[in-house]
């Protein structure tokens, strides 16, 4: 379609989108200093025996088993050891193709998980959000786990967003530039955790909420408004330059 239409500019070219698949991303972002990408492989088991063999061959415990193409925590399970494979036996989705991903425990000193989101727009990194939860599987609605009821965690997010904007994204500009250059998309997000002065990347792709989300209508999260406004302005400037 792009070749037939010959547009003035195509944003997020498909050839670059493919670089961000769950299976390819670890290869796309391999060997970037300060950046950790969990190992991921694909498998296509047709029965339970083949599913067991795939997970045992992967040989990383704990591991995450998920269906490719799903978001928001759908069709995704964490298995701590071989004995838990039985929980997959009677499900249908594991036999339609799966991704196996090494699970890296990124809990902080308080025992909380975090998912920081930075958006890349036209090669520039922008802070967007940081969700804290006591559950490993964090997605857009996970603010309801703890943050909706805990003002201290909301203050913690507010402080981290300011720190990202004012210092971290500047100090680590070479790292985010390498990610941008490897992926080469015009607009995409990076979800990660900050662990021991490194970033552990969960995913990086163009399929992310960043102008809306669960903090859009709640008065608890008004501090995120300026970051969304900055992203809108960045998008407008990019489109105008096209």
Structure tokens at 71: 């978001």
Q: What is the DSSP string of 104-149?
A: -----TTS-EEEEEEEEETTEEEEEEEEEESSS---GGGGGTTTTT
CA-closest candidate to residue 43, choices 29, 59, 20, 28? 59
Output the pLDDT for position 48: 96
Output the pLDDT for position 5: 82
| 3-class secondary-structure state, position 195 | strand
d(CA 188, CA 110): 30
Overall size of the chain counted in residues: 242
Q: Which residues of the chain have pLDDT under 70?
A: 213-214, 216
Eight-class DSSP state of 21:
S
| pLDDT digits 0-9 by tens, 129-145 | 999 999 999 988 899 99
Burial class (CB in 10 A: 0-12, 13-18, 19+), 117: buried
Output the pLDDT for position 216: 67
Phi-psi region of 122 (alpha: psi -120 to 50; beta: other; left: phi over 0): left
Structure tokens at 235: 């998008």
């Amino acid at each position: 379609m792009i070749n037939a239409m010959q547009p003035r500019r195509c944003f997020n070219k498909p050839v670059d989108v493919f670089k961000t698949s769950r299976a390819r991303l670890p290869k796309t972002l391999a060997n970037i200093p300060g950046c950790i990408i969990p190992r991921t492989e694909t498998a296509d088991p047709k029965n339970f025996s083949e599913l067991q063999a795939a997970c045992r061959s992967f040989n990383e415990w704990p591991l995450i088993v998920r269906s490719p193409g799903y978001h928001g925590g759908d069709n995704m399970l964490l298995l701590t050891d071989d004995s838990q494979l039985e929980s997959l036996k009677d499900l249908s989705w594991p036999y339609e193709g799966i991704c196996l991903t090494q699970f890296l425990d990124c809990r902080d000193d308080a025992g909380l998980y975090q998912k920081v989101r930075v958006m890349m727009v036209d090669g520039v990194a922008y802070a967007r959000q940081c969700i804290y939860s006591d559950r490993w599987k964090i997605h857009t609605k996970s603010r309801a786990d703890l943050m909706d009821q805990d003002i201290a965690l909301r203050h913690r997010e507010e402080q981290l967003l300011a720190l990202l904007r004012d210092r971290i994204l500047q100090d680590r500009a070479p790292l985010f530039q390498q990610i941008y250059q490897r992926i080469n998309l015009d607009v995409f997000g990076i979800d990660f955790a900050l662990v021991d002065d490194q970033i552990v990347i969960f995913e990086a792709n163009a399929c992310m909420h960043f102008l809306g989300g669960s903090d859009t209508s709640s008065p608890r999260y008004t501090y995120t408004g300026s970051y969304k406004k900055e992203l809108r302005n960045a998008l407008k400037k990019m489109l105008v330059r096209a």
